[in-house]
Amino acid sequence: MTQKTILFDLDGTLTDSGEGIINCASLALTHFGLPVPDREAMRVFVGPPLRDTLMQFGVRPGDVEEAMTVFRSRYLTKGKYENKPYPGIRELLEQLRSQGHKLYVATSKPEIQAVDVLNHFDLAKYFDIIAGATMDKARDSKAAVIAYLKDQAGDMAQSIMVGDTAFDVTGAAAHGIPTIGVAWGYGQVADMEAAGAIAIAGTPEELFQLLQK
């Protein structure tokens, strides 16, 4: 079997972090007196860069940093633990590691938070590198995170991205990496397909089979 380099998104792919992220985003919007839509509409906060989504919901560009501070004041103490691994993910990672594949995390979440969450759920041990956004904005997009991973990991032949949004697809495509989308997360399957996802997995078991090809 050809060994692959598999890049995983975090929120909406490995863990269901929606409750915590939505609660913290609601707090940030309320802080500025902005309307808080229903939770279904707020699902778009899971996955994309936080700065962009806050402005999409009415936060003015000059207020974004303050909004992010309000968000993180709750997220760092409580919100990041309103979270849980999706059923079957641990078993998937164990299977892939046993086959000798290299596993990385490529997330738009701040790296320090991603490491904390993965350690909390005892998932960090499956990954060679956990890469995310930096607080100084040097890495603030999926494409930038993947560029960093390529610098750190060296040879990334037979690479493939796994994620739940079109941002994962386009960020990986910027580096010539194909993406398998997952249907259990917070993105829209149609959006991932339109962005060029090569396949969509409905369950971790289906994802495992797709990664065998």
Residues labelled as active-site residues: 9
E strand map for the chain: 5-8, 102-110, 129-133, 159-163, 179-182, 199-201
Choose among 6, 7, 10: nearest CA to 110. 10
| Coil, strand or helix at 180 | strand
The position carrying tokens 């990385």 is: 104
Inter-residue contact 165 to 185 (CB < 8 Å): yes
Q: Where are the beta strands (DSSP E) in 46-128?
A: 102-110
Instruction: Classify residue 193 as left (phi > 0), alpha (psi -120 to 50) or beta.
Output: alpha
| DSSP state, residue 44 | G
Instruction: Name the burial class of residue 69, with classes exposed (0-12), middle (13-18) and buried (19+) by CB atoms within 10 angstroms of its CB.
Output: exposed
Q: Interior CA angle at 208 toward 199 and 9, to 5°?
A: 70
Residues 6+ apart with CB under 8 A from 86: 13, 14, 15, 16, 184, 204
